[in-house]
Structure 1
Amino acid sequence: MKKAVIFDMDGTLWDSVDEIVESWNKTCPEMNIRREQLIGLMGKTMDCFARELLPEYEMDQAMEIIHACERDENEYLSHVGATLYGDVRKVFERLRGMGYEIGIVSNCQAGYIEVFLEYYHLGNLVADIECYGNTQQQKDVNLKALIERNHYETYYYLGDTQGDYNACQKAGVPFLFAAYGFGTVDAQVPQVESLEQLPEVMKYL
């Protein structure tokens, strides 16, 4: 039986907010983004970023600016990385030792997950990834697509926001709450207080 733990990125595997703020403010100084402002957008799709951060622009123009920021962000992160939520490699290895494959599904831009995997040399531990930037689809659709193409029979998603929970509800995917992340969830669900706690929690699911 194939089984998997699928991860969100931001607020779940790492915190890249400070690096994104620095990168985007270099690319587009007029946005003058602050950390608190960006945290409220993390986990949302890029069209939401455009509407929130560039309301004075037509959507096409706003998205052009956002795409430029994304490209520069990927390049910047490929050199500096970000702040991991603990020993990600150890957690991935422990889960694989328990028979779980590792997946990542995020609402991020294309290339963002790849930067994370390459910078921390984690690509050999991750079976599959998907994101909004690749498909222009919402997270529930991308979750189902990843699960179906890998023929997983048992699967869980670890995320840190209400949006993650809602996507799992739509996709029929059991949700685990990363209580250490950016957001909150208005539901009674299993939760982990740190990423390192996840393998232990998985023993009881």
Structure 2
Amino acid sequence: MDSIIFDLDGTLWNSLDVVVKAWNEALEESGAEGNLTKEDIRGVMGLQAHETREKLFPHLSDEQHRTYTEKASELESTYLRKQGGQLYANLEHVLERLSQKYRLYIVSNCQEGYIESFYAYHGLERYFQDFENPGRTGLSKGENIQLVMERNDVKKAVYVGDTAGDHKAAKAAGTPFVYAAYGFGEVDEHDYVIERFEDLLELFE
């Protein structure tokens, strides 16, 4: 194995407090009805934009949803760049250790600018070789994992994530799946499981 590819939400950090604030402000500013809770957001973490719309915003017209999405993305990036999210315990220490032996990447089902906000506030960009998301490519998570592997000449990798969607993406990309059980989702099938982020050191060092 030469590389480790990470999901972001529920795997590297928890940004729920910031995201729910941004999404509710965006709903209000775009004139759309509704008020979201952290549990609402938790339930769609890891989904692509069209799947999130189906679950949370079926009542919005196409125009309302477009206006809302643009505002939510703008507010999310602004707030996350200013205050970041909650990193999981010992995250930077583990990334530093792993980066000495493996190449590290991020593939997340987020909009363009979200991973950049993670980098900007927490200063962790130096540990990662590349990243990708459907906001830039329009591809599924599995396809984005494959894209990152191809353009970085990755021969053998694992994907670390916390949802059933992450497992599906890893399977589609042909990589083993490490289930981050401390995250947002419940996954029945996996190749490895970690209860804390730092368990990766025992698993791969």
Shorter-chain TM-score range: over 0.9
Match of 1:95 in 2: 98
Question: What code does the residue aligned with 2:116 have?
Answer: E
Match of 2:6 in 1: 7
For 2:180, which of 155, 178, 181 is the aligned residue? 178
Unaligned stretches of 5+ in structure 2? none
Alignment map for 1:1-205 (pairs within 5 Å): 3-29=2-28, 30-97=33-100, 99-203=101-205
- Is the contact between residue 31 and residue 53 of structure 1 (CA under 8 Å) also seen in structure 2? no
* 1:99-126 alpha-carbon deviations (Å, 9 max, x no partner): 2011000000101001101111111111
> Which stretch shows the higher mean deviation, 8-17 or 19-28?
19-28
Following the alignment from structure 1 to structure 2, what is the Cα–Cα distance between the partners of residues 178 and 137?
23
Following the alignment from structure 1 to structure 2, what is the Cα–Cα distance between the partners of residues 39 and 172?
27
- Is the contact between residue 179 and residue 190 of structure 2 (CA under 8 Å) also seen in structure 1? no
CA separation of 1:137/1:60 partners in 2, compared to 1, >3 Å: closer, same or farther? Answer: farther
Q: Which runs of 4+ in 1 moved over 6 A?
A: none
RMSD of Structure 2 on Structure 1 (CA): 1.4
Question: What code does the residue aligned with 2:24 have?
Answer: N
Following the alignment from structure 1 to structure 2, what is the Cα–Cα distance between the partners of residues 171 and 63?
30
CA separation of 1:96/1:188 partners in 2, compared to 1, >3 Å: closer, same or farther? Answer: closer
SS at match of 1:33: coil
Question: What code does the residue aligned with 1:176 have?
Answer: V
CA separation of 1:43/1:188 partners in 2, compared to 1, >3 Å: closer, same or farther? Answer: closer
- Is the contact between residue 50 and residue 59 of structure 1 (CA under 8 Å) also seen in structure 2? no
Question: What code does the residue aligned with 1:89 have?
Answer: E
- Is the contact between residue 51 and residue 62 of structure 1 (CA under 8 Å) also seen in structure 2? no
- Is the contact between residue 132 and residue 142 of structure 1 (CA under 8 Å) also seen in structure 2? yes
> Which stretch shows the higher mean deviation, 65-74 or 128-137?
65-74
Following the alignment from structure 1 to structure 2, what is the Cα–Cα distance between the partners of residues 14 and 169?
23
What is the deviation of 1:60? 4.6
Question: What code does the residue aligned with 1:16 have?
Answer: S
SS at match of 2:59: coil
TM-score for both structures, normalised by structure 1: 0.93
* 1:151-188 alpha-carbon deviations (Å, 9 max, x no partner): 01121110000000011111101110001101111214
CA separation of 1:55/1:188 partners in 2, compared to 1, >3 Å: closer, same or farther? Answer: closer
- Is the contact between residue 50 and residue 66 of structure 1 (CA under 8 Å) also seen in structure 2? no
What is the deviation of 1:58? 2.7
